[in-house]
Homo-oligomer: A and B are copies of this chain.
Amino acid sequence: MARAGLTSERVTRAAAELADAVGFENITVSALARSFGVRDASLYSHVRNLQDLRERIALLAAGELADRIAAAVAGRSGKEAMVAFADAYREYALAHPGRYAATQVRLDPAVLARSPAHARNVELTYAMLRAYRLVEPDLTDAGRLLRSTFHGYVTLEAGGGFGHSREVRASWERGLDALHLLLENWPADPSGRQAGASPPGGILEA
Residues of A within 8 A of B (CB): 25, 104, 106, 137-138, 140-142, 144-145, 147-153, 155-156, 159-168, 170-171, 174-175, 177-179, 181-182, 185-187, 189-190, 193, 196, 198-199, 202, 204-206
Contact = CB atoms under 8 A, between A and B. Distances in A.
Contact of A205 (B163, B179, B182, B193): B163
A128 to B, nearest CB: 17
Contacts of A142: 178
Contact of A140 (B138, B156, B166, B193): B166
A44 to B, nearest CB: 22
A106 B160 contact: yes
A106 B159 contact: yes
Contacts of A185: 181, 185
Given A144-B153, A145-B178, A155-B151, A167 B196 contact: yes
A156 B165 contact: no
A168 B204 CA distance: 11
A141 B181 contact: no
21 contacts: A104-B155, A137-B166, A138-B174, A141-B166, A144-B156, A144-B171, A148-B149, A148-B153, A149-B149, A152-B153, A162-B204, A165-B199, A165-B206, A166-B196, A166-B198, A167-B196, A170-B193, A170-B196, A177-B190, A179-B182, A182-B182
